[in-house]
Structures are given as structure tokens and as C-alpha cells.
Structure 1
Amino acid sequence: MTEAQGAIEELLPRVTADRPDIYETLLGALAHGEVWMLLWHGRPGDPDAQYGSVEVAGHGYAPAVTSPAELAASGWPRDHEVIGGRDIAAALYPDHWGLWLNPHTPGGGLGVPWADLRRIAGGLDRLPAGPLVITEPTAPAEPFYRRLADEARRTPVLRSLRRGWVRPAVGSAYLVIGLEVDDPGEAAESVRRMMARAVEAVPDGLAVATVAMADAYDPVALWLRARARPFYSAPTAS
């Protein structure tokens, strides 16, 4: 058993709601390990192969086990597929499917929601640890907001700016700026330069991040679209 596999099996029974640090370590091990996906139809590599499914609280999960020993213990009578944790995360999250580990064990195993699979696929160090608490920002940063709006007026691809305060389960809270642009691909460099100029006005000690409003999977972008009114909107053409 590899070090990552050993870590997955050692950490799984230790995950509790009040220990997000252990859960975060488990996600890191899963990113570097493998899982044994339980196939409901077909064989590994078949174009019509289909993973099993579990529905919990209205959300779909694909069941998996974490080692050959757990596969034997599960008594699964059909075929299975061994796949890297990062690869299965990238395959499942776009369809809002999570991963349910060792459902045969006492207590029913552990579910990894699709939002955390997205973090595994995209990089745990790049995306905040959930569950996230997102609210309106209260930190005094008016000079920064004014600078952002001034820079936005000089950046034609930018359509609007929103803001929120994000408190991740692990790590420090930060101010997030939601960026709505005309063409995310074409706008990336001009928006990066705009933010580089604007951050000169960020108050000392205030952490700032950005999120693309076009990201249909980012929970921060989803919250901003639903709850935050733009503090800057580009003038509409008359």
C-alpha cells in the first residue's frame, strides 16, 4: 500500500465535523492516491461502463472503496475500476457528482461533495476549504473600492465588480472581488494588470482574492451572483 493510500485509510475514520483540518489532510491524500470505483455496468475501459450511484440528501455520489482489502470486505459482486483520485475528481465534479468512500463500513463511510472534488482537481492550495461562510464585507476598504472602480472604467472588457467576505473552514478570512468580463479568455491579461494597479490601495493586513463571475462551479461566484449587487457596473452603450 502506498503512503497516500495508507493515509486515506488512516484518516477516514478520524474525520468529524469539528476537525476540518483532518478532512483537509484526507483530501490531500486522496489527490495523490487511488480509489477503486464500483462499476454498476460494464468493464473498465468499456465506452458504456457506468459507475454505481448513491443519493444522499438529494445529492448524487459515485461509490468507491480505498484498497483491495476494502473491495473484498464490501462484497461488491460486479466489476471495478482503479483510478487516480485527481482523475476521478475531474471526471465527477462537472456533473455535480460527489465521491462516497467505503459505504460498506460501519457508519456508512464518508461522502466527498462535488465542490471538494473540484478543489482536488484544480489544486487544494488554489481554492478555499469549505464549507465556506460568505457574507457582505465589513472591513474598511473604501479607498481600494474607489481605486478599483477608477481602474475598471479604463478596462473596457470589465462589465461589473462585486465583493464579498469569505471565511473558509481552514485558513484565514479574505475579501473577494468578483470580476464579470466580456470574454474571459481575451480579458485575462488586461484584468490582471487592472488588479495589479488597484491592489496598491489595499489596506495593510487585508487579504484579497478574485473570482471569475463566469465560473459556474465556484461557490463564491454563485453566492456573489445571488446575493451581492455590483459596486461598479460599466455604462451601457446608448
Structure 2
Amino acid sequence: MLRQVTPGRYDAYEALLRALATPASGQVWMLLWHGQAGSPDAQYGSMEVDGLGYAPCVTSAQELSASGWNRSYEVVDGLEVARALYPDHYGLWLNPHAPGGGVGIPWPDLRRIAGGLDSRPAGPLRLSEPAIEIPQFYALLAQNAHRTPAVRTLRRAWVQPALGAPYLAIGLDVYDASPPAVDAVRAMMQQSLGAVPDGLPVSTVVMSDEHDPVAMWLRANSRPFYDREAHGAVPSPATAYGYPSAHRG
């Protein structure tokens, strides 16, 4: 699979991710810069490529021997490594000693492995402002959001995955993440989807997710199309869901 991954071959890259996500068969030999396998002071090696951090590993005992690595290592499932690395924005680099330099898996794809490949779009993602005109949907969604006290703002983006159909993403910024609030926001979306044209996929993303690339893009590049506080409906302290009440000077 590594040999099949070349620039533009997203299908081969996706197959590699699925292999890594499979317990037992997705094992990798993690290179330890400090400590021994299983010891509290064990520390993965690190490398930087194009400004992104990666932990190097090899894919078999034979590759370990070919690499010339003379320090400790530990054999772990790719799924376990993905869960350990992505929260610190670290990727995984497979066989850096190989001809061509091996293959790097950036942290957003490790996050996909950790959370389930089919639950998140395949990268790299192309993100932009939506060009499709659906004012009825946006108006209905904003109206329903105004009736849902948990919602602070709504944003939107057009997402084109490397594999699969493009879709409209709605960014949800909420005051409260309690189960009743989540249920209310879910109901808000379901009540609004009737105004979406047939065949247009719509997904949601939580703006507070520090590791979601769509949420990151929305925070940096978009303005809300609904903003409760801009409409003068600042929640009172009794309904502020744990956030400080807003003060206007």
C-alpha cells in the first residue's frame, strides 16, 4: 500500500488509512527517542516536514532493521497511535528511511482514524464560501436558531472532500453542550432541513472543536450569518449556560 501512494492517488492513500485503522493488522513500530517501551519516560521521536510535526515509525521488523535504528521502539496499533498523537497536532511518518522518504500522515487524518474514517470527510479539503443560493433555508435556520437559546452563532462553508460528494457545512457555536441543549440544536436543524433543495447534502460542525479542519477554517475565514448577540438577544445570567454574561459599554 505504501508503494501505491503517490501524489493525487487519494484512493490508495485512503486504503492505507483503513489498513492503519484496523487493529492488529495496522501495527507500527514506533521509534523511541527516550526511554524503553512501556516505561513512564518513553518518548516518541519527532520530525518536522513543511512546518508540521510528525512521529517517525516503521511498518515491520524488516523495515526496522533496514532503518538502522539503534534505540528502543514499541509495537502498537495504528489506532492507538492516532489517538495519542492527533490532540497535540502531531502526525505519523511511515518509513522515513525508505527511498523517496516514506509517507507522512498529517494529524487531521490521524483524527479521522481515531474517530472513524467514515464519520469525517477525506482530506485534503477544499473550503470556500457557499456559492449556491438557498436564502429560504438560511432564513428558516436563522429563525429557528433565534428560538433555540443554546445557539450563539451560525456560520457556513462549502466543503469539497478529496473523495466523495461536496456538501454544505453549518458551523454551530453554542452556549451550552448539555444533552438537553444538544437535543434542542438537533431539533432546530431537523426543522430547517425541509427548506434544503433535494440532493444537497448538509452537515454540521461544532465551532468549539479545536481539531476539526472545517471549524478551524470557519473561525478564521467566515462571518456568522446568524448572531444572537448582534440581534440584541444576549442571554440573561440565568440562561447563560455557564458563560459570563455579556457587557455592553
TM-score range, shorter chain: over 0.9
Shift of 1:185: 3.4
Distance between the aligned counterparts of 1:191 and 1:65, measured in 2? 44
Q: Which residue in the other structure is 2:69 paired with?
A: 76
Number of the residue aligned with 1:66: 59
**Aligned equivalent of 1:188:** 182
Q: Is 1:213 aligned with 2:204?
A: no
Gaps of 5+ in 2: 235-247
What RMSD, in angstroms, separates the aligned Cα atoms of the two structures? 1.1
Q: Which amino acid aligns with 1:191?
A: V
1:29 aligns with 2:19: yes
Work out the CA distance in 1 between the residues paired with 2:195 and 2:205.
19
The residue identity in structure 2 corresponding to 1:218 is: D
Cross-structure match for 2:9: 19
Cα deviation, residue 140, structure 1: 2.2
Distance 1:96 1:84 in 2: 19
Equivalents in 2 of 1:153, 1:53: separation in Å? 47
Report the identity percentage: 61
| Distance of 2:70 and 2:167 partners within structure 1 | 48
**Partner Cα distance (1:16, 1:172) in 2:** 22
Q: Could you tell me how far apart the structure 1 residues matched to 2:119 and 2:80 are?
A: 17
Residue 128 (structure 2) aligns with: 135
TM-superposed CA distance for 1:24, in Å, is 0.8
Amino acid of the structure 1 residue aligned with 2:89: H
The worse-fitting range, judged by mean Cα deviation, of 76-85 and 182-191 is 182-191
In 2, the alpha carbon distance for the partners of 1:153 and 1:92 equals 39
Aligned residues: 228
Rounded to whole Å, the distance in 2 between the matches of 1:195 and 1:65 is 45
Q: Give the CA deviation at 1:143.
A: 1.0
After superposition, the C-alpha distances for 1:49-83 in whole angstroms (9 at most, x for unaligned) are 01111111121110001111111111210111111
1:168 maps onto 2:158 in alignment? no
Rounded to whole Å, the distance in 2 between the matches of 1:129 and 1:192 is 24
- CA distance in structure 2 between the partners assigned to 1:136 and 1:55 by the alignment: 31
Counterpart Cα distance in 2 of 1:219 and 1:166: 10
1:139 deviates by 1.3
1:201 to 195, 207, 215: 195
Stretches of structure 1 lacking an aligned partner (at least 5 in a row):
1-10
Alpha-carbon distance in structure 2 between the residues aligned to 1:156 and 1:184: 12
The separation in 2 between residues aligned to 1:19 and 1:147, in whole angstroms, is 40
Aligned to 1:8: none
More helix by share: 1
Question: After the TM superposition, which residues 94-109 of structure 1 pair with which residues of structure 2 at under 5 Å, given as runs?
Answer: 94-109=87-102
SS in 2 for 1:62: strand
Query: CA, structure 1 residues 68+185, in 2 after alignment: closer, same or farther (shift >3 Å)?
Result: farther
- Distance in 1 between residues matched to 2:130 and 2:178, nearest whole Å: 28
Cα distance, 1:184 vs structure 2: 2.2
Q: Distance in 2 between matches of 1:184 and 1:83?
A: 34
SS in 1 for 2:3: helix
Name the SS of the counterpart of 2:2 in structure 1: helix
Compute the TM-score of the two structures, normalised by the length of structure 2.
Answer: 0.89
- SS of the equivalent of 1:170 reads coil
